[in-house]
Amino acid sequence: MQEKVQELRERVDEVDRELIRALNERARVVQELATIKAEAGVPIFDPKREEEILLRAVEYNEGPIYDSSMRDIFELILHRIRDLEIQRGEFQR
C-alpha cells in the first residue's frame, strides 16, 4: 500500500508542476497580448472574450470536477492574471 500511495503522490506532484508551468506560460502570453493591445490603444479587458474562455473551460471539462467549480477555477485564474496587468499598470479597472 505504501508504494502505491507514494507512486500516486509523485503523480500528483508532477501534475502540480505541469499546472504551474502552464499557468505561468498563460500569464506570459497574456502579458505579451496586453503589451500589443496597449501599444495599439485597444482596450485590454474584453468581457465577451472572458465569457468565451469560461464557457470553453466548462465545455472541455470531462470531470470529475463539477462544471461550476471549473468555471470558478478559471474565473480565479483570469482575475489573478489580470491582477498582474494592474500591477504592471497596463490595465485600467
Nearest to 76, CA basis, from 44, 45, 50: 50
What pLDDT shows up at residue 93? 45
Residue 64 lies in a domain: yes
For residues 92 and 44, what is the distance between their CA atoms, to the nearest angstrom?
8
What pLDDT shows up at residue 87? 78
CATH for 21: 1.20.59.10
Residue 93 lies in a domain: no
Residue 71 lies in a domain: yes
Total domain count, the chain: 1
Domain of residue 58, residue span: 2-88
**Is the link from the previous residue into 43 a cis peptide, with omega within 30 of 0?**
no
What pLDDT shows up at residue 91? 56
pLDDT by residue, tens only, the chain of 93 residues: 999 999 999 999 999 999 999 999 999 999 999 999 989 999 988 999 999 999 999 999 999 999 999 999 999 999 999 888 777 775 554
pTM: 0.86
